[in-house]
Amino acid sequence: MHHLSPYYSTYISACRRGLQLSVQLGSPRTAHCASLGICSMQPVGFVPAADCARVVEAYLRIDVPTGRLLVHFTNTSIAPDTRQQHFSGAVFTVRDSYRLPSWVVEQLGLPPSVYRITPGRYPSLEDDAFTSLSVRLSGSVTVSLSVDRLAA
């Protein structure tokens, strides 16, 4: 059982130290964010249109050794039909690139630049708390985050 493992507790703690936000799933290039991928990122508490059930809560952080963006979607925020559509077969598909908002870039402690989540099929890992992705970012990710930033 994961709950007894100190490694699992450390993992959960590290995930929750990431930037917490709301993610609308879908393509930013289609009407009403149809299709697959990430359509938008909003501050926590974002209220989507009444007909949109594809907004999920997530924590973002940068994996320092690889420079990849780690996205930890909270399992409690993923509706069953959303899970079936977007995480089927333990794969998350990004059809169209998504530009990270400047406020997200700043909060993650990245150097000012344009960063995009690149199209691709990303394996998703599910545990008791999160469904997680490690995604490629286009742009130059120079990982020189301060130790204080990582400990926060």
pTM of the model: 0.84
Compute the CA torsion angle 130, 85, 34, 32 (nearest 10 deg): -60
**Can you tell me the distance from the alpha carbon of 47 to that of 123, in angstroms, rounded to the nearest whole number?**
28
**pLDDT per position as a tens digit, 98-149:** 999 999 999 999 999 999 999 999 999 999 999 999 998 987 544 444 444 4
- Reference 97, options 15, 25, 28, 11; nearest CA is 28
In sequence order, which residues have a C-beta less than 8 Å from that of residue 113 and are 6 or more positions away?
105, 139, 140
Q: Which of the two residues, 152 and 48, has the higher pLDDT score?
A: 48
